[in-house]
Structure 1
Amino acid sequence: MIATLIELQAQFPFSFRVIDIDSDLILAENYGELVPVLTAEKEEICHHRLDLVALDAYFAKLR
């Protein structure tokens, strides 16, 4: 997921950060079995695998 997001940054202006959810009790409770998970503004975009359709839909809402 991270490698693909880095590649997509060449096409779309966005930033992201990687967070170890095990270091945060609330995140671990919310996403424990769903890692990796991609969220933005408290909205879950996808989990387990990068869903490019879901990511594109999220970006479309921002346009």
Structure 2
Amino acid sequence: MKIDTDHIKLDSFLKAENIVASGGEAKILIAEGGVRVNGETELRRGRKLRPGDRVEVGGETFCVE
């Protein structure tokens, strides 16, 4: 996904990529440890993602551009 700003928050990224349908769903997925950022489990939904970051969910990898 290409972003137009210097960063995007993790929960917003998950919604923009249609990985989750809502912020609440993103919160649960992240809290349960279902999201990895750059190979590390991420539990903060407000984590700032920048171009080059890789997000892994359910065996799929999404790149921030």
Q: What is the TM-score when the length of structure 2 is the normalising length?
A: 0.27
Larger strand percent: 2
> Bigger radius of gyration, 1 or 2?
1
By relative contact order (CA 8 Å, sep 6+), the higher-ranking structure is 2
| TM-score normalised over the length of structure 1 | 0.27
Report which of the two has the higher share of helix.
1
